[in-house]
Amino acid sequence: MTVGIDAMAIHAGKLRLDLAETFAPAMDESPEKYTEGLGLHASSFPDVHEDIVTMGANAAHQLMERKGLEPADIGRIDVATESAFDNSKPVSTYIAGCLEKVFEDDFHHANKGERKFACISGTQSLDDAYNWIRAGRNRGRSALVIATDTALYARGDAGEATQGAGAVAMLIGEDPDLVELSVEQGFGSADETDFLKPNQQFPSVDGKRSVQVYLARMREALEDYESVAGRVHPDDFRFGPFHTPFPGMVRKAAMLAYRHLTRDTEIEDELEPELGRQPHPDEFDDESAYHDAVREYMDALKGTDQYRAWYDRTIEPTLDIARHVGNWYTGSVHVARLSALRRAREDRLDAAGERLLVGSYGSGAQAEIHTETVQENWDEELAALDIDDQLEARRDISFEEYEAIHDAHNHAKDDEFEALTTPSGEFVRDGQGPMNERTYRYVE
Ligand code: CAA
């Protein structure tokens, strides 16, 4: 049985903060720190009437309409988020409630839940849906997986540079049109305190450590994947979509991955006259000498034609969207997959049958590596997406508007703010009910 992602849709927050033009000057920083260092040009932000429910419901609505689905076709709704506002009632019930306002039927026989493990929970929800279908418990129905987040940091936190907001909806089913998921998976998981939100809205982050933990867990996951699937060669896959908190992070991960994947291959042989062999720990008396040698090797590897060509072909295309939307946490790796396939379409690549090496990551911390195989109808699916229209339609905000929008989404502040955009054909948040529940309506 082939199981995987049948279709995807996104909903980007409707506001756009230009990092180089608007944010950098206000922070008294160089624009290049954003565009070159972090690799980010802009972040998507949610307008006042948007939140994780509206963005998730809007993406799911678009997906269901496009695929001609009714609620009876959906047997599961799993929401992945790290921006939940309720410790008991799952976001999936709110989203189902929204969708029931526009569909005649209801989702009363769909199993609903919410997954939490920082950014990796989007991929964990895919895994849950995959297992449910492979176990034969789906009664021919598909699963709706929705990764939705408002990735906001406290004002003044270094993470403020990497914010974003958006949702990705994915339909998981048998004989998928987009990608098939591999049975093989690898995990790298450890108890870490790099990024967490202990009952608080904005994260506590040890930024520099979070970067190191990302790299360490990804490496473990890759080795674990190889232990079940066999060694991976850099040319085994066409694209490598990774979790992308900011493109600069993926640049670091790609470098490490390439060193690992080329070890003892013909590529290492080819590079030997220029770089020597890769350093091995047992060749050194102490750890710091080994680390210095690795750093030196990596610096030289970065400049080689072989690495540049691999990076430009395999990794760079996965970053096209992230550069303009920032971090969507649980949706981020799924945006990277879309980005790669969108580039494949632009380049008229015959991608059917090509493989993707997908690297998901969640702070706290866990990484997962699996592979995906692009399906025959991928091109048609991509053609149906409106990513560019959504990104272009966003309203640019000034720094003062950014400050007000950040306050509008801050749970500790209860000032009223006017929305900056006029909703049309979308779900909006319209208030608070008697039990403190959030309320929503559909605006025609
Ligand atoms: N021109 C070119 N490059 C410049 C520059 C300039 N003028 N100024 C700075 N840079 C470069 C820096 O050299 C640096 O690049 P390298 O790391 O390659 O050296 C980069 O721009 C960023 O500069 P800083 O390191 O000085 O930036 P910072 O200290 O202000 O913050 C950060 C960076 C720690 C990542 C911060 O944004 C942060 O805390 N982000 C949130 C945490 C995060 O995203 N961590 C990623 C891993 S965890 C994860 O993936 C989960 C998740 O989604 C949160």
Q: Is the pLDDT of residue 57 over 80?
A: yes
Is 98 labeled as catalytic in the residue annotation? no
The pTM score is 0.98
* Catalytic site residue from 49, 50, 61, 82: 82
Distance CA 59, CA 165 (A): 13
Residue of minimum CA distance from atom 13 in ligand 1: 37
Question: Which of 262, 292, 270, 269 has the alpha carbon at shortest distance from 279?
Answer: 292
pLDDT of residue 416: 81
CATH architecture, domain 3-443:
3-Layer(aba) Sandwich (3.40)
Q: Is the pLDDT of residue 37 over 90?
A: yes
Which mutation among 27, 30, 38, 215 tests ligand 1's pocket best, with the greatest number of atoms within 8 A of CB?
38
What's the average model confidence in pLDDT over 85-110?
98
pLDDT single digits (tens) 4-14: 999 999 999 99
pLDDT of residue 1: 87
What is the pLDDT confidence band of residue 395, given thresholds at 50, 70 and 90? very high
Distance CA 95, CA 105 (A): 14
Question: Which of 140, 96, 36 has the alpha carbon at shortest distance from 440?
Answer: 96
Distance CA 387, CA 334 (A): 13
Which residue is it, tokens 């703010």?
A: 417
What is the pLDDT confidence band of residue 216, given thresholds at 50, 70 and 90? very high
Q: Is the pLDDT of residue 269 over 80?
A: yes
How many CA atoms are closer than 13 Å to the CA of 137, on its beta-carbon side?
11
User: Kind and range of the H or E element at 45?
Assistant: strand 42-45
Which mutation among 19, 28, 30, 33 tests ligand 1's pocket best, with the greatest number of atoms within 8 A of CB?
33
Distance CA 426, CA 436 (A): 23
Return the SS3 of 293: helix
Distance CA 136, CA 238 (A): 31
What is the domain partition of the chain in residue ranges? 3-443
CB atoms within 10 A of CB 226: 16
Exposure letters 349-373 (e unless 16+ CB within 10 A, then b): bebeebbbbbbbbbbbbbbbbbbbb
Is 243 labeled as catalytic in the residue annotation? yes
- β-sheet bridge partners, residue 374: 179
Instruction: Cis check for the bond before 289: say yes or no (omega within 30 of 0).
Output: no
Q: Is the pLDDT of residue 120 over 90?
A: yes
Residue 244 φ then ψ, to 5°: -125, 80
What does the DSSP 8-state code read for residue 376?
Answer: T
Ligand 1 atom having least distance to the Cα of 252: 18
Question: Which of 251, 241, 253, 254 has the alpha carbon at shortest distance from 355?
Answer: 241
Is 32 labeled as catalytic in the residue annotation? no
Distance CA 185, CA 219 (A): 13
pLDDT of residue 414: 82
pLDDT of residue 151: 98
Instruction: Estimate the crossing angle of helix 247-262 against helix 287-302, to 10 degrees.
Output: 100
pLDDT single digits (tens) 353-377: 999 999 999 999 999 999 999 999 9
Residue of minimum CA distance from atom 37 in ligand 1: 159
Residues 403, 330, 63, CA angle at the centre, nearest 5°? 100
> Ligand 1 centroid vs 85 CA: distance in angstroms?
28
pLDDT of residue 223: 98
What's the average model confidence in pLDDT over 174-185?
98
Residue of minimum CA distance from atom 38 in ligand 1: 159
What's the average model confidence in pLDDT over 54-68?
98
pLDDT of residue 441: 98
Ligand 1 atom having least distance to the Cα of 327: 53
Q: Is the pLDDT of residue 302 over 80?
A: yes
Q: Is the pLDDT of residue 79 over 80?
A: yes
pLDDT single digits (tens) 414-441: 878 899 999 999 999 999 999 999 999 9
Average pLDDT of the residues of the chain: 97
Long-range CB contacts for residues 298-307, cutoff 8 Å, separation at least 24: 298/255, 298/256, 298/259, 300/274, 300/275, 301/255, 301/258, 301/259, 301/271, 301/275, 302/255, 304/271, 304/274, 304/275, 306/262, 306/267, 306/270, 306/271, 307/255, 307/258
CB within 6 Å of ligand 1 — which residues?
30, 32-33, 36-38, 119, 158-159, 161-162, 195, 205, 207-208, 210-211, 214, 243, 245-246, 248-249, 327, 329, 361, 363
Which mutation among 36, 155, 162 tests ligand 1's pocket best, with the greatest number of atoms within 8 A of CB?
162
Distance CA 99, CA 103 (A): 6
What's the average model confidence in pLDDT over 384-411?
97
Residue of minimum CA distance from atom 12 in ligand 1: 37
